[in-house]
A = this chain, B = another copy of it.
């Protein structure tokens, strides 16, 4: 029995690759400080759980395939507040941002097609894109210039007759880079000129640490038919386990095509949708508090990294990740050594090795992604462990 060519081009998650070593280290009594997984520690707003406890229908029925109307309405109102005018027809509820991406890829990509994407990128994109038979055309970046990719000439040079879309994660995972409004407008113009979709994964939209208003590609004038937003409640409301996302687009044909996939999988979890609608009732003070907390953490991580000789890292402007190049030979070897050989008073640290976020082999080899989703004290300890680990590793290798 054979397996498909597509699944063979997919990989296991780089974030989970070191799971067996972590299990062994924990079994050996080590305490592991996890900076490897983007699971926020911020509390889920109680409105979520209250809405679920209030559900008293006797039968847990399918929700409508495009999504529960009350959730769609809540999303339309949320977008209105940030200056994006959409109607209920412009929203399809999905099982997390993951399903939104998967549906959009399936709608527009065929064998041999290409999608332009700055690397390093969120590694699961590779699975969604490879499963359609298409491939990623990477835009190269470097740690020294903060993983900058918003350059017109660089982007246009990547376009060829196979190109179908530019996929932008803004704010970025794994790099934390945030585009300026001018850069966003420039990328949208390229998409309009070259007749490409602009898929904007904006699930980290609220996590920006300047005082500018929240940016969305859907706010920009022109090119409404080209813009497809991927959105989710997971990070926004620290509700990762809810699996509620959406596709937002004013392109009616795209939405009609995507609806076929929504219908085929019947519906998104009913209770999670009811609870997600309640999440959108939290006020701006919730986001302000969360933003202030993440900003403090980012500053801690950047300050600590600046104190480690040889580390290359620019201060990121958003999300809750950053990438850094370390003064080591190989981040995967280093990670394994940290789990198997190293400890400081029984403690060690885990990050995500950078190579897994790259399409190009041999790139990102000495880089790591840090998710700063721990409280201040744990974060400081984790960064001290990283500094100590780098020093000892280089003394012994």
Interface residues of A (CB under 8 A from B): 1-8, 10-13, 16, 39-44, 48-49, 52-53, 55, 58-63, 65, 95-96, 98-99, 102, 106-111, 113, 124, 127-128, 131-133, 164, 195-197, 225-226, 238-243, 251, 253-254, 257, 259-261, 263-272
Contact = CB atoms under 8 A, between A and B. Distances in A.
Contact of A242 (B1, B48, B253, B269): B269
A7 B44 contact: no
A99 B110 CA distance: 21
11 contacts: A1-B195, A1-B251, A3-B254, A8-B257, A13-B263, A102-B265, A106-B131, A242-B270, A243-B266, A271-B271, A271-B272
Given A43-B58, A95-B95, A133-B133, A13 B269 contact: no
Given A98-B265, A260-B11, A39 B52 contact: no
**Chain copies in the assembled complex:** 2
Interface residue SS majority, chain A: loop
Contacts of A49: 55
B43 A241 contact: no
Given A1-B225, A95-B95, A12 B62 contact: no
B44 A241 contact: no
A44 B62 CA distance: 12
Given A3-B107, A124-B264, A271-B271, A44 B16 contact: no
A105 to B, nearest CB: 9
Contact of A267 (B7, B11, B241): B241
A4 B108 CA distance: 5
